[in-house]
Amino acid sequence: MSVTKVGVYVVSGNRLMRESLARILNKRTDLSAVSADRIDLEYTKSLDKQCSMVGLFDSPSFVLEEMAAIRELLRPPSTWKIIVLGMEENPKVFVELVRLGTSGFLLKDASATDVVATVRAVSCGEVVCPASLCKILFQHVIREEILSPKARKQRGASLTRRERQLVDLVGRGLTNKEIASRLHLAEQTVKNHVHNILHKTGAGDRLRVLGVCHPEGVGLLPGDDIEAFRTA
């Protein structure tokens, strides 16, 4: 029975690197690799017609230099998948490569087995990301969701004037009792307002309300008061 091979386009400015990678991949019966020192879009179009293709690119710096070509490579209805080899824990570069559409990441200490396994996984539609890079991605998503001005504006837009007033006082570290005294309200009324604010903003606790709604973010609260503030 014939095996449908996955084509791998190995691109690296280092001849030894690209030839070594191509040799490793071509030893597998389900993979077929070609190598080049730069991206040739005309050549990639001919490859795309032959089989599903994975681009294995050496180093994030190379990918960023060739970003325009890679965007063209990934333009729909293209089925190309991109893997970057030699990735470092650089949040800015990593997030930019994710935005670009990269499907797989390999660290500098990746083995030949890691490379083969990643190529196979990505060719099947999976995304491969080392744990250290996943952590960076999660942190980025949380930061964008909670702290970005756009997110704060969107999620705080439904608050009433009174609720916004409470958010400001919450941001100063006041307890429900202190807020009630200042606004001449019953403490239960303040608790009800805080409950509504948490529900509207989707914040899990009072601390996160700051990140969602307050212009200055979470940094307003002294570190020693955080635990008391969460449950006040």
Question: Domain spans of the chain?
Answer: 6-141, 149-231
Average pLDDT, rounded, for the chain: 81
For residue 10, list its beta bridge partners: 35, 56
Sheet with strand 6-11: strands edge to edge: 31-36, 6-11, 53-58, 81-87, 104-107
149-231 has CATH 1.10.10.10 classification? yes
Region of poorest pLDDT, from 11-15, 143-147, 178-182 = 143-147
**SS3 category, 190:** helix
The mean pLDDT of 169-198, rounded to a whole number, is 86
Cβ atoms of 119 and 83 within 8 Å: the answer is yes
For 156-167, give the DSSP string.
HTT--HHHHHHH
Residue 7 in this model has a pLDDT that exceeds 90: yes
pLDDT of residue 147: 55
> φ, ψ for residue 29 (rounded to 5)?
-70, -20
Pick the CATH number of 6-141 from 3.40.50.300, 3.40.50.2300, 3.90.1150.10, 3.40.718.10: 3.40.50.2300
